[in-house]
Chains A and B, each alone.
Chain A
Amino acid sequence: MLSKFANLITFRAIAELKSEATRTYAGYLWWVLEPLLSLAVYYVAFKYIFHRETKNFLMFLFSGIVIYRFFASTATRSAASISDGHGLMQLVYVHKSIFPLSVVMVNLVKFLITLLLVIVVSWLFEILPTWAYLALPLLIVLELMVVTGVSMICAAITPFFPDFKLILNTLMHLLIFLSGVFHDIGKLSPQMQSLIRLNPIAVLIEQYRAILLQGQWPSPQSLVPVLAESIMFLAIGWLLIHKFNRYYPKIS
């Protein structure tokens, strides 16, 4: 039963990845081009218009963008996933969590590829690998848990409240500034810091950067709240979808 569920999600994800690539000329290349283009936009804006002078600002920005994108684009696309699956769910019984979960899987693959790109590019800037890299899988799993939980919550809400999809877009614009993508949150005032650290993505970005840019091990005490939050998101998301599992097909 569980293997059927996993197979279905995996197969849907592979199908989506394959068919997404056939939709454009550049195909698979877009998985890398998209984050690079947004890096270019933000880099020009912050370097030449706002004259930001952070050390290694390019890598600082690139890592932030890639880590944030995984979160934001998965949540936004998941939000529509159950509504988009409306036709299919009239024909076959599937647990409705497969809709957001296959989005998560698609974006996880893209994220891992772009994260690898971040690492390789950082070597070009002479930020060399350290033993701290060994902690990366831990952060990836933690982020995956946060992303999955939030995505399931978003997917569960939208069928009842379609306007949520649009609100979420704005929310994600706001959150990019509250996640330390452009700023080092460690340099903010203590009150502001404690507020921003409630955002698990801000903490994760900071810890990824510690590993990738400074070669430091992540700090366990800052990751414990992230773990707690991720478990809470997962539980809420799963319970919501499970509760309305046989209700969603009735919304027409």
Chain B
Amino acid sequence: MKKMIFDLKNVGMCYRKVASLPWSCNEFWALKDVSFSVHRGETVGVIGRNGAGKSTLLRILANIIKPDIGLITRADVTVTMQSIGAGFDPRLTGRQNIFLSGLLLGMDKQHISQRIEKIIELADIGDFIDEPVKHYSSGMRARLGLSIAYYVDADVILIDEVLAVGDQAFKKKASELIKGKIKSDRTVVLVTHSMDTLRELCDRVIQIEDGRSLPELPVDQTIARYLISRKKDNYAKQA
């Protein structure tokens, strides 16, 4: 039996509206009842329609928010969400933003200093590295963000749709890098809409509908179930 990393039992979480007191009830349940577990070294895909609660689930795994109901057990591991360009300050240069974003993603200063040349090389944006990020194209911004995220060391990596940002060339580069990282025997939880990615990379897939996790099936069957539910939706819309 592999070591348990996360174990969720009937987890639910609700968002509150601004201007509400901690004990008041104007809330929105993004997750209602989610149960699954993740073991060391696994790559687990998460699928579900828009608004099903996938991003909220990653936030819970990243320990950004605590569930309101249910139970989550986590191993003593470092977890990082691969947020591209988290905390970028557009008025600062690329180089300064590497430090800012790196610190936010949990790297320490030495770790960043040691890797900064590699990060810059990977980003491949030339002299723009010493320009303020506000002068960057969105593609350049994404490249820099991805390069930083790539050099974050963590036991568990959470990925939210990064395979689908930027232009074609960038997408290709990004997905190669991410695939390399996933295959390197790390624990990964991956939210994606790409069935090809799921088939290629994931050992298991969790399907979430309307805040609830569906009973777990093998990858191919889960994908089939998901596609059927989407088809039904489309028919319902047309009718």
Contacts and interface: CB of A to CB of B under 8 A. Distances in A.
B10 interface: no
B109 interface: yes
B163 interface: no
A53 interface: no
Contacts of A130: none
A88 interface: yes
A249 B62 CA distance: 12
A88 B65 contact: no
B126 interface: no
A246 B108 contact: no
Interface string B75-97: 00000110100110101100010
Interface in A49-88: 88
Interface stretch (B98-106, B164-172, B184-192, B216-224): B98-106
B15 A252 contact: yes
B65 A249 contact: yes
A163 B19 CA distance: 8
Given A23-B91, A92-B86, A250-B16, A7 B103 contact: yes
Interface in A1-39: 3-4, 7-8, 11-12, 15-16, 18-19, 22-23
Contact of A92 (B28, B83, B92): B83
Interface string B1-32: 00000000000011111111110000010000
Interface residues of B, number: 35
Nearest to A246: B66
B16 A252 contact: yes
A3 B100 CA distance: 15
A15 B64 contact: no
A224 B210 CA distance: 57
Interface in A106-143: none
A94 interface: yes
A93 B64 contact: yes
A3 B103 CA distance: 11
A89 B64 contact: yes
Contacts of B197: none
A88 B87 contact: yes
Ranked 7 nearest A-B pairs via Cβ: A19-B91, A91-B83, A91-B86, A246-B66, A252-B15, A8-B103, A93-B64
Given A7-B109, A18-B91, 16 more contacts: A4-B106, A7-B108, A8-B103, A19-B89, A19-B91, A91-B81, A91-B86, A92-B86, A93-B63, A160-B19, A160-B20, A162-B19, A163-B19, A246-B64, A247-B65, A252-B18
Interface of A: 3-4, 7-8, 11-12, 15-16, 18-19, 22-23, 88-94, 159-163, 244, 246-247, 249-252
Interface of B: 13-22, 28, 59, 62-66, 80-81, 83, 86-87, 89, 91-92, 96, 99-100, 103-106, 108-109, 132
